[in-house]
C-alpha cells in the first residue's frame, strides 16, 4: 500500500515556540513551520513528522498581522545570521516573553521580572564565524570566492554580508580585504562533503573574528586545510591596515564542517585578545569560550551575582567553569572558589587570567565534571553550573544534590534542557525559587536563564 503523501495546507500561526518556530494546528495536529510570526496566514508544505508533530516549510505568505519593517541590512531574510531582522526589537522582546511564559507553565510565577533586554541590538557581538564559499546570489559566477554567512535554512550555501551589523563595522572591511586578497590569488573554498587527500590544494574554510569592546582590537583566525606561504603576507597586510591584536591560521583538514581547528599557527602579532567584564580583565586565546556580547554578558553575570547572594565565608563550586569567567567574578565576594572544566586550553586560560587579576582564592581542576565530583570530596555552600546546551548529565545532577548545597545557581543557554534538568533536581529535593531570563541574542529566539534552586521543605511541591 502506497504511503499517503504529506499535504499542502493553509494555516494561521498562533504562537512561536522556544526555538522561534511558528506553531499552527490542523485537525488537532500540531504543525511546526519556520520563517513565520504569530498572526501570519501561510501556505505550507508538510514534509515530515517527529514525535507526532508535523514539520512544514512555508510556501507563501497569504496575510499577516505582524508589524514588519525593512531589514537593517541588504541580505536580511536571506542570511542566517538573524532570525527576526524585520521586527522592531520591542516586538521581538514581547514575542520572546510570550514564548517563555508559555514554556514555563507553573514556573512562570518564579520569574523575578520580565526578560532583561539587550543593551545594544546592533554591532553588539564580539565574535563571529564567517564562511568561505561560492556566491549564493544569481548574478554571481559559480566560481566566485565569497566570504559571508550561511543561508537561512540552507547550510551548504553562503551569502556575502557586506553590511552586516552584528560585529563591529570594521569587520566588514576586514572581510572585504581578505576576500579580495585570496580571490586575486585564485584560492578556493572548501567543497561541501569533502574528504581531505594528499593531492588537495589549499582550501579556505572559515574566518573567525573576535573583537574586544575594551581595546577595540581584533583577533583573527583563518581556518584552512593546510598552510600556504602567502598567509603571512595576508596577515601582515591585515595587521598594518586594521586595529589588530593578532592574526593566526587554524588547521582543520577533517571532513566535519566546524570552525574549530586542531592546531593554531601564529602569523602576526599576539595570539590573544584582552577583554574586561565588571572590572576584571580576561585574556582570550583564539578558541576560548566567552559570551558573544560583552555588554550583555555583564548584565548576565550581575544577575548570577545577585542570584548567588554570596557571602565572605562561603565556598563555591563553579562547574563547567570554562575560562573562569563566572568564578573570577565571584571570587572577590567569597572565601574560596573551585572551578571544574574538562578542556585543558580553557583551564590554562583560566589560571592565566586568575594570576593576572591577582586572585589567590580560586583554583581549577581539569576533568569531566561527573568524574571530578565522583572521585573528590568537594563540598560547597553554593554550586554554580553553566553547562553546554546539552545540559547536565543525570550523574552530575545526582552528585550535586548528594553534596546538599544550600543553593544551586543554574545558568542555562538552552531552556529546553534546563527544564528537563530542574525536573530531575525536584525528584532529589531541590526546587526553583527564582529565575530570570536575559536576552543575550537580539534578532534570534534564544535566551539565557539564571535560576536559583534550593532545598524543598516538606510542604513544598516540585515546581518543575
- The DSSP element (H or E) to which 97 belongs, if any, is helix 89-104
Check 36, 79, 164, 413 and give the catalytic one.
Answer: 413
- Nearest to residue 262, comparing CAs of 278, 249, 248, 251? 251
With cell 586595529, the residue in question is 243
Show the cell assigned to 16.
512561536
- How far is Cα 332 from Cα 97, in angstroms, rounded to an integer? 34
- How far is Cα 439 from Cα 445, in angstroms, rounded to an integer? 9
- How far is Cα 462 from Cα 464, in angstroms, rounded to an integer? 6
Task: Quote the DSSP letter at residue 125.
Answer: B
* Residues ≥6 apart with Cβ < 8 Å to 105: none
73 is catalytic: no
* 353 phi and psi angles, rounded to 5 deg: -70, -40
Cα dihedral value 230, 236, 239, 245, nearest 10: 80
Task: Quote the DSSP letter at residue 135.
Answer: B
**Beta strands 127-134 and 145-151, pairing class:** antiparallel
Strand partners, 425: none
- Nearest to residue 219, comparing CAs of 262, 273, 176, 288? 273
Strand partners, 263: 251
- The DSSP element (H or E) to which 415 belongs, if any, is helix 415-427
Strand partners, 365: 340
- How far is Cα 275 from Cα 101, in angstroms, rounded to an integer? 34
* 148 phi and psi angles, rounded to 5 deg: -170, -140
- How far is Cα 455 from Cα 37, in angstroms, rounded to an integer? 40
**Beta strands 382-385 and 407-412, pairing class:** parallel
Q: What residues act catalytically?
A: 413
Amino acid at each position: 500500500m502506497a504511503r499517503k503523501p504529506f499535504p499542502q495546507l493553509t494555516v494561521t500561526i498562533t504562537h512561536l515556540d522556544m526555538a522561534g518556530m511558528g506553531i499552527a494546528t490542523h485537525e488537532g495536529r500540531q504543525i511546526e513551520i519556520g520563517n513565520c510570526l504569530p498572526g501570519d496566514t501561510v501556505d505550507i508544505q508538510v514534509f515530515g513528522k517527529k514525535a507526532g508533530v508535523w514539520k512544514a516549510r512555508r510556501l507563501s505568505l497569504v496575510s499577516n498581522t505582524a508589524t514588519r519593517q525593512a531589514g537593517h541590512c541588504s541580505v536580511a531574510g536571506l542570511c542566517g545570521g538573524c532570525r527576526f531582522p524585520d521586527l522592531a526589537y520591542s516586538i521581538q522582546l514581547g514575542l520572546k516573553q510570550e514564548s517563555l511564559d508559555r514554556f514555563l507553565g507553573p514556573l512562570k510565577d518564579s520569574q523575578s521580572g520580565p526578560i532583561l533586554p539587550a543593551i545594544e541590538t546592533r554591532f553588539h557581538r564580539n565574535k563571529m564565524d564567517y564562511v568561505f564559499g561560492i556566491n549564493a546570489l544569481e548574478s554571481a559566477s559559480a566560481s566566485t570566492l565569497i566570504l559571508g554567512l550561511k543561508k537561512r535554512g540552507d547550510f551548504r550555501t553562503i551569502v556575502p554580508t557586506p553590511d552586516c551589523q552584528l560585529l563591529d563595522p570594521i569587520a566588514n572591511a576586514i572581510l572585504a580585504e581578505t576576500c579580495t586578497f585570496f580571490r586575486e590569488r585564485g584560492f578556493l573554498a572548501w567543497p561541501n562533503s569533502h574528504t581531505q587527500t594528499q593531492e588537495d590544494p589549499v582550501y579556505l574554510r572559515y574566518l573567525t573574528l573576535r573583537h574586544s569592546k575594551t581595546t577595540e582590537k581584533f583577533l583573527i583566525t583563518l581556518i584552512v586545510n593546510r598552510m600556504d606561504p602567502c598567509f603571512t603576507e595576508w596577515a601582515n597586510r591585515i595587521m598594518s591596515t586594521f586595529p589588530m591584536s593578532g592574526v593566526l591560521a587554524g588547521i582543520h583538514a577533517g571532513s566535519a564542517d566546524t570552525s574549530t581547528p586542531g592546531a593554531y599557527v601564529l602569523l602576526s602579532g599576539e595570539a590573544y585578545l584582552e577583554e574586561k567584564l565588571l572590572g576584571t580583565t580576561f585574556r582570550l586565546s583564539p578558541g576560548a569560550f566567552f559570551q558573544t556580547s560583552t555588554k550583555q554578558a555583564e548584565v548576565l553575570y550581575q544577575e548570577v551575582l545577585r542570584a548567588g547572594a554570596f557571602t565572605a565565608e562561603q565556598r563555591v563550586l563553579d562547574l563547567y567553569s570554562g575560562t573562569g569567567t563566572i568564578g573570577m567574578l565571584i571570587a572577590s565576594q567569597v572565601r574560596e572558589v573551585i572551578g571544574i572544566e574538562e578542556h585543558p586550553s580553557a583551564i590554562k586560560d583560566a589560571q592565566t587570567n586568575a594570576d593576572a587579576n591577582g586572585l589567590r582564592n580560586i583554583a581549577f581542576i581539569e576533568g569531566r565534571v561527573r568524574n571530578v565530583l565522583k572521585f573528590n570530596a568537594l563540598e560547597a555552600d553554593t554550586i554554580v553550573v553553566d553547562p553546554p546546551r546539552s545540559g547536565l548529565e543525570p550523574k552530575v545532577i545526582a552528585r550535586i544534590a548528594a553534596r546538599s548545597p544550600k543553593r544551586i545557581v543554574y545558568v542555562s543557554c538552552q531552556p529546553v534542557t534546563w527544564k528537563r534538568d530542574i525536573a530531575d533536581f525536584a525528584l532529589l529535593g531541590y526546587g526553583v525559587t527564582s529565575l530570570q531570563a536575559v536576552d543575550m541574542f537580539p534578532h534570534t529566539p534564544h535566551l539565557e536563564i539564571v535560576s536559583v534552586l534550593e532545598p524543598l521543605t516538606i510542604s513544598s511541591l516540585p515546581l518543575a
